[in-house]
Amino acid sequence: MKITGVELRRIAMPLVAPFRTSFGTETKRDVLLVRVVTPDAEGWGECVAMSEPLYSSEYVDEAAQVIQRFLLPALPNEVDALGVARALEPIKGHRMAKAAVETAILDAQLKASGESFGRFLGAAVDRVPCGVSVGIMDSIKELLDAVEGYIDEGYVRIKLKIEPGWDVAPVRAVRERFGDDVLLQVDANAAYTLVDARQLARLDEFGLLLIEQPLANDDLVQHAQLAKQLTTPICLDESIESAEHAAAAISLGSCSIINIKPGRVGGYLEARRIHDLCRAHGIAVWCGGMLETGLGRAANVALAALPGFTLPGDTSGSSRYYKTDITAPFELEDGHLNVPQGPGIGVEPVKEILEEVTTSTEWITV
């Protein structure tokens, strides 16, 4: 497939409410979109890097520069999505930027052939159960009101963000208010250390699905030590950047569940490799989210339809984060989202909305 040009588009997407985690608060998303144009089709990829290097070392300004200066020049004249990772391998890191480029190329390739993302990846179902991620609040009352609203909307799983000083009390309050039947898990975003093991063990009494990324992303050994002290299953997020990292974590006993975020691991093809590895070893996986627009959400929903995704993911409806999405909105139906069936990722940006939220564009002739 010959690429004739690439557009890098920055858009500003205000969130419906501030989203607070242990590493910071977001009120809007500065999103980098990659549009790849070929003689037969065009494809879209969404870079999930944040404005600042807080979740990972990547950030949006850097991703745009890396794509223009290094990733695009590294691609061969005739490119196939399956060969993108190999062509970009000499460039170290920058997995979110690489994922955006690979996704755009794969989207264009599948549109040209008329095949959907779900079919290409190996989707086993046509809709996926949806969980929702609830940020750190200013009060327990505010948290309970938010959780009640999401349960009323039909979300089948609730994830609470936690940090030191905001862990046992909010979890207990949610359990007492909504009962043991609610699927509940927590996400620490690496906010704790092994010194906090006894405090984290206090969460065991609440019957959580999992505790996500309690320790630092490079602490596989200490996660294995922590796992022996908890009955709550440990799930890894930031620690897993490739199938090789997943294999190491499984071998060490660092986790029994893995959150697969395609942007974090370098793209949907690597995400599928991790899925296949985990499925072969009996490790449950679920699809994480990075506050994606409808473009990224469409691809995530297709990934979450693979057979190894046995836990509800953070594939929330569009209205969870955005008043107006740049694609037709994803809306919950009985706690599920439908897997797009059209060619490629199966959705297109609405031109008028896209133009309204665009802050800059750059065209690169390849």
Q: What is the mean pLDDT of residues 67-71?
A: 98
What percent of the chain has pLDDT above 90?
Answer: 95
Q: What is the per-residue pLDDT for 201? A: 98
Q: What is the mean pLDDT of residues 331-339?
A: 96
Q: What is the per-residue pLDDT for 22? A: 78
Strands 358-365 and 5-21 come out as antiparallel
Instruction: Categorize the per-residue pLDDT at 23 as very low, low, confident or very high, splitting at 50, 70 and 90.
Output: confident
Examine the pLDDT at 24 and tell me if it is beyond 90. no
Q: Please identify which of the residues 2, 228, 261, 351 carries the catalytic annotation.
A: 261
Q: What is the mean pLDDT of residues 49-56?
A: 93
Mind listing the pLDDT tens digit for each residue in 285-297? 999 999 999 999 9
Examine the pLDDT at 20 and tell me if it is beyond 90. no
Q: What is the mean pLDDT of residues 237-244?
A: 96
Q: What is the mean pLDDT of residues 65-92?
A: 96
Q: Please identify which of the residues 98, 161, 323, 351 carries the catalytic annotation.
A: 161
Q: Is 261 a catalytic residue?
A: yes
Q: What is the mean pLDDT of residues 243-256?
A: 97
Return the closest-CA partner of residue 241 out of 56, 38, 72, 32.
56
The mean of the pLDDT values for the chain is: 96
Rounded distance between C-alpha atoms, residue 159 and residue 251, angstroms: 27
Instruction: Categorize the per-residue pLDDT at 17 as very low, low, confident or very high, splitting at 50, 70 and 90.
Output: confident
Examine the pLDDT at 366 and tell me if it is beyond 90. no
- Domains of the chain, start order: 5-114+351-365 (3.30.390.10), 119-338 (3.20.20.120)
Q: What is the per-residue pLDDT for 26? A: 86
Q: What is the mean pLDDT of residues 19-38?
A: 91
Mind listing the pLDDT tens digit for each residue in 163-218? 999 999 999 999 999 999 999 999 999 999 999 999 999 999 999 999 999 999 99
Q: What is the per-residue pLDDT for 19? A: 87
